[in-house]
Structure 1
Amino acid sequence: MGRPEQPIDPGRGPLEQFAQRLRELRAAAPGSTYRAMAARAHYSASTLARAASGREMPSLEVVQAYASACGADPEAWTRRWHRLQRDVAGAPARSAPRAAPLPYQLPADLPDFAGREAETAMLLDTVLDALDEPDRRSPIVIGITGGPGLGKTTFAVHLAQRLAPEFPDGQLFINMRGFDERRLAPETVLRQCVRTLGHPDERVPADFDELASAYRSLLRHRRCLLVFDNARGEADLRPLLPGTPGCVVIATSRGSLVGLEGAQTLRLEPFSAAESLELLARTAGAVRVAAEPVAAAELAEQCGNLPLALRIAGARLASRPQWKVGTLTERFRDERRRLSELEAGDLQLMEAFSMSYRALEAGERLVFRRLGALFPGLDFGPLVAARLAGIPEADAEDRLETLVDANLVESPGPGRYQMHDLLRLYAATRWIAEDEPDDAARRLLAWYTGTAAAATRLLMPDWFGLDVPALPDASVTTARDALHWYERERHNINALVRFAADAGEHDYAWRLAYAAGGHCVLMRHWQSYASSGETALASAKRTGDAAVAAALAVNLAEAYTELRRPDEAVALLEDAVAHYEDVRDAAGLVQALCGLSHACVRRGRVDEALEHARRAYDNAERA
């Protein structure tokens, strides 16, 4: 009916007899879990549990509250308590062996801890409800996972401190150093634990299985909280799980811990905007943050809402009272130096990322680096990683899943992946340091351009006036495929057009924008069309191809006209008309004049619009 308790021997003395009678009273009362009793008695569940532990003399007030919460007569239990007091005073002293001191190893909770309120409440309820399960036969195991910088250790300590009163037999905390060269093997952790729990050094078994058995035996009749921080993975944690239900294990890891039997895992996410501002206010000063709300919000975004990055930023501001929040925000705007700026004392975001990166195999490192440096989009599929790494799609997907398990890449949906902004910056620094120039970016741009051309040909067969070959083995084979592909990739295409232009790949920049333009027109995505079209036109001019530039100018002018920017459209179209007249391209001239007529209508110049339309008609007859 209540949580499992350490057995007591009523024959040892009056204190144990009294405790046993309290337990029997609780067992006979309906709904008598310690949590339920605590609500009625106005004492904590742990205080009530200690009253029935048989290890200490409970106060009269607690006994009266205990009895009332169980529906018993407090006066009768008052008399029993006074009788116990006399019996204990007259009992002979016990000659018991000297017990080892109880371990209370939890680090202090941070005074400026912020955020994670929902996660804390959920896990507190999970643990306390599980402790009250009468038939539980296994320990309660909580796995806290997530990428570097998310505050797993800080959150685990905060949660453990909230739970500590429920575990009167002690709390253990061990940093397993799972991702550095000082990694603790499970055997080493077991030896630390059995010594801490009072096992004499000379009796600590040398055999691993015997050591694990001794550990479980020591915990069998104890209610302990065990925190194993920074575990490498499930294999390191399995030998550390107690064999009985009275203990709770909290484990943190950068891995997923999905294979840890019986564990409830919580994957931490970056803070919300409100949580980020709360942490900045607590670390840098509430008045300071409130005085510059726009700069503070930008700083939180620059930190990617990562708790470690926010704590570092707050610490830097706290140590520089002459700085405004905007001073640091300005320094962080340079992405090339942002990671190096995120250091304060021994708090270093770069080192946190490096520990996870060093744990990867060479193939996963390559995919991670190239995604961070060479893919500017939002989310992506395995084919992107395959093109960047020059490997088959199936191998790319396997490597991406490994990165997901390492919490260096996220998977927002089946077959789709994304990277946190700061991890992307870190990956780019590793690419600069480790990779030789190759054709990875061109492979990716060629695949996107060829697939976009294939998709647009399915949707608008008459779109292409410029030569952009379709990918012969494109994954899109129907119009429905093409629409779905564009909806997934539209924002990535815009980013890749800019990326290609910035990298000097101007042919790819204009070809990709042009190939995707048909879909933009079909779906009336005019803003997207204009954005990529501006970059494409600039790239075409850089190549020196006047014919391509004129065709792209006509397309861009259409977007400007639809966006009610007719003056800009007219300027582009007049230049295009002049070009087509010079080269005697009647078909191109007709398109430019039709666009000019449409733009003049939008300007309210109907007479000019009619004149351009007549010229277009005349040239169409001659074309």
Structure 2
Amino acid sequence: MSPAGAVLTAARPPYFRVLGLLQVEGDEPVPITARRQQVVLVLLLLNSNRVVSLESLFEAIWGSAPPATARAQVQICVSALRRALLRCGLGERIQVRGGGYAIEVDQGELDLHRYEDLVVRGRSELAAKRPAAARAAFREALALWRGEPLDGIDSGVVRAHQVRISERRVEVLEDCVQAELQLGLHNEVVGEISAMVTEHPLRERLVGQLMTALYRCGRRAEALAVYRVVRQRFVDELGLEPGPSVNQLHQDILTGSLTGHGDAERPEPAMPWSSAGVPVPRMLPARVPYFTGHAELLAALQRRLVGDHGPHTELVTVLTGRGGVGKSTVANEIANTLAAEFPDGQLYARMAVGEEQAGNVSNILKQFLCALGFSASEVPAAMEDRAARYRSAIAGRRVLTVIDDVVDEAQVRPLIPGTPTCRLVMTTRARTAALLGTAVFELDVLGTGDGVELLAAMIGRQRVRAEPREAGELVGLCGGLPLALEGAAARLVARPHRTIGDLVALLRDERHRLDQLNGQGVDVRATLLRGYRTAPPVARALFARLGMLEPGGFGAWVAARLMELDAASATDALESLVDARLVDVESGTGGSTRYRLHELARIFARERLFAEFPSQDDADAGRRTFGTWPRREDEARSATGHGG
């Protein structure tokens, strides 16, 4: 056993237990019976070592209508909990941090943490094809459960956590059964699987595991009967047929082509689905806790991703938009929402910036094949061979793949699935048309209402309600860009003593606005710079000169005048900036097309402008250009026949 494993299996029980009735025990048991204290402690434990805002505690205790005395009541609850933990020898655990509270919990002190660590170890052993070690870890994890998690605590927020934790327990049970079937323990587990299918009759992985176990126990007729009952339930309740993996398993049992039917044959049967010893990858990043809005877009994405599975299904969904608009967040949100619709796995990768494209995709294919159960030695060397094996590995299964930050569609062509049961979601800044087999969704910046809602989710509704006008102005100064709002929110959270108005006053100074929006992993300038570097030299030079303009739309003739180019060359340069997501098309077509710079792109262009004039003489030339701009604009309009 590894040293980490030794820590996980330490003899003393956890001090804090949530996998059943809430229990706290140090030198002696700590009775936590008051409802508000239970809710506060549970929310702190579920977010161990992280700050839980007062607004989150208010919502968990009172819902959307906290009383005027909510803050004082929470302080009383926290004080009582502190005294109780001190009395039983657990020390000063609850700390005031920023605008909320945090409880300090070390490794192994919370049963949920110990459970999750064991599950990670079990899945790692399963992926490494060590089913005995995987089974031991899974069974040790499941033994920590003492009933329904957080049973009896009356809170809508806590109930949402209960559902999430319970759902993950079923997945772990499925993983454990998978390891046990690989070990040939079908006789030992068939009763447990049968009870699980009774409780969860629509979980296809469980159904397949029960059919497999029954068949391998020599109970072929019962295995077929399970399929008939489950199929009828699917048709009656959902109006759907079971998935292809269960149907294929049914056919294998009917024809007798399923191997491993006796006690002597221990290897798991070769089947194109996860209960047959194939790992189920769960590679999606964690959801963003402050996700808001996009309801219509999410509904449209859901229809695309779980709709028709026919031969002409759109297998690729593209989310496109400017840098920082939230493409990755939306992709991850919809993928996590629909994870249950893709029970054979969810794969995720981010394209490395600047890496050679073919090598990048080849490395991702290797990563995916290993996650799907292939050893490194089984992964082909050539990218074409890797792509072929990848398509074969997911053929007939229900797998969702998410590829983030793609340069263009050609880059991910080797990752496109070959069967309609799988889906690929990709995010890209590139402007792309809807091609055959592809659905394209464009994300735009947020309006004031949605921007304020996002800000409230990040910094707390109470602060936004206290300064609604300033919150709206902050959204405008960020140009409605979610990434910029995230940077602003990070500053406000880090400085709870500062008001929204204080930050707004700083952001009004355009010279330092991009600096004020940086920090905590957010860099708006770097996002703009990435697009700038992809543009051709003449387009970059034009972009810098567009920093001379005041906010508002402009025509291609403006670009021609700024760069002393003919109309066609100026339009080409502008369209390159449109492709780089530095310039937006405002309205019109052909020669009447109007363009506009996003608020933050305009500020960045002005930075590039002065970077283009480093010497004093050049700076003077730049100032002269600014000073004569109104006259030059009038001349250009007259020369080109544009009167307005």
Shorter-normalised TM range: 0.5 to 0.7
2:568 matched to 1:400? no
Q: Tell me how far apart the structure 1 counterparts of residues 326 and 354 of structure 2 sit (CA, whole Å).
A: 15
Q: Residue 347 of structure 1: SS of its match in structure 2?
A: coil
Moved more, 263-272 or 352-361: 352-361
Bigger Rg, structure 1 or 2 = 1
Which residue is equivalent to 1:118? 296
Change (3 A) 1:51 1:204: closer
Which residue is equivalent to 1:289? 464
Structure 1 position 218, deviation (Å)? 1.6
Which residue is equivalent to 1:604? none
Structure 1 position 200, deviation (Å)? 2.9
**Structure 2 unaligned regions, length at least 5:** 1-185, 187-198, 212-225, 241-249, 270-275
Contact kept, 8 Å, 2:311 with 2:420, in 1: the verdict is: no
- Of all paired residues, the percent bearing the same amino acid is 35
Mapping of residues 293-312 of structure 1, within 5 Å:
293-312=468-487
Contact kept, 8 Å, 2:542 with 2:559, in 1: the verdict is: yes
TM (normalized to structure 1)? Answer: 0.59
Mapping of residues 587-598 of structure 1, within 5 Å:
none
2:640 matched to 1:475? yes
Aligned residue identity for 2:299: A
Q: Residue 344 of structure 1: SS of its match in structure 2?
A: coil
Structure 1 position 330, deviation (Å)? 0.9
Q: Tell me how far apart the structure 2 counterparts of residues 317 and 71 of structure 1 sit (CA, whole Å).
A: 50
Contact kept, 8 Å, 2:315 with 2:417, in 1: the verdict is: no
CA offset digits 1:143-188 (Å, max 9, x no partner): 1111111111111101111111110110011010246799962222
Q: Tell me how far apart the structure 2 counterparts of residues 443 and 71 of structure 1 sit (CA, whole Å).
A: 70
Match among 588, 599, 610 for residue 432 of structure 1 = 610
Which residue is equivalent to 2:635? 450
Contact kept, 8 Å, 2:365 with 2:415, in 1: the verdict is: yes
Q: Tell me how far apart the structure 2 counterparts of residues 127 and 114 of structure 1 sit (CA, whole Å).
A: 20
Q: Residue 150 of structure 1: SS of its match in structure 2?
A: coil
Match among 553, 560, 566 for residue 386 of structure 1 = 560
> RMSD of the alignment, in Å?
3.4
Q: Tell me how far apart the structure 1 counterparts of residues 523 and 408 of structure 2 sit (CA, whole Å).
A: 23
2:299 matched to 1:145? no
Aligned residue identity for 1:448: E
Contact kept, 8 Å, 1:139 with 1:246, in 2: the verdict is: no
Change (3 A) 1:200 1:345: same
Match among 402, 405, 409 for residue 234 of structure 1 = 409
**Structure 1 unaligned regions, length at least 5:** 1-14, 16-42, 73-80, 455-473, 477-481, 487-623
Contact kept, 8 Å, 1:179 with 1:230, in 2: the verdict is: no
Q: Tell me how far apart the structure 1 counterparts of residues 281 and 462 of structure 2 sit (CA, whole Å).
A: 40
Which residue is equivalent to 1:410? 584
2:510 matched to 1:335? yes
Alignment coverage as a number of residue pairs: 399
- Structure number with the higher helix fraction is 1
CA offset digits 1:14-60 (Å, max 9, x no partner): x9xxxxxxxxxxxxxxxxxxxxxxxxxxx99xx74727973456799
Change (3 A) 1:91 1:198: closer
Change (3 A) 1:188 1:322: same
Structure 1 position 301, deviation (Å)? 0.9
Moved more, 361-370 or 301-310: 361-370
Which residue is equivalent to 1:92? 262
Change (3 A) 1:70 1:168: closer
Contact kept, 8 Å, 1:167 with 1:225, in 2: the verdict is: yes
Structure 1 position 237, deviation (Å)? 1.6
2:225 matched to 1:50? no
Mapping of residues 601-612 of structure 1, within 5 Å:
none
Aligned residue identity for 2:282: Y
Q: Tell me how far apart the structure 2 counterparts of residues 293 and 450 of structure 1 sit (CA, whole Å).
A: 44
Q: Tell me how far apart the structure 2 counterparts of residues 153 and 180 of structure 1 sit (CA, whole Å).
A: 19
CA offset digits 1:283-339 (Å, max 9, x no partner): 111001101111111111111111111112112111111111111111111111111
Structure 1 position 190, deviation (Å)? 2.1
Structure 1 position 259, deviation (Å)? 7.0
Which residue is equivalent to 1:164? 339
Which residue is equivalent to 1:591? none
Change (3 A) 1:236 1:117: same
Structure 1 position 277, deviation (Å)? 0.8
Contact kept, 8 Å, 1:139 with 1:241, in 2: the verdict is: no
CA offset digits 1:498-554 (Å, max 9, x no partner): xxxxxxxxxxxxxxxxxxxxxxxxxxxxxxxxxxxxxxxxxxxxxxxxxxxxxxxxx
Q: Residue 110 of structure 1: SS of its match in structure 2?
A: coil
Mapping of residues 75-90 of structure 1, within 5 Å:
none
2:376 matched to 1:211? no
TM (normalized to structure 2)? Answer: 0.57
Aligned residue identity for 2:561: R
Contact kept, 8 Å, 1:50 with 1:56, in 2: the verdict is: no
Structure 1 position 202, deviation (Å)? 1.8
Change (3 A) 1:51 1:201: closer
Aligned residue identity for 1:475: T
Contact kept, 8 Å, 1:176 with 1:184, in 2: the verdict is: no
Structure 1 position 451, deviation (Å)? 4.5
Aligned residue identity for 2:571: E
Change (3 A) 1:442 1:396: farther
Q: Residue 425 of structure 2: SS of its match in structure 1?
A: strand
Mapping of residues 577-596 of structure 1, within 5 Å:
none
Aligned residue identity for 2:283: Q
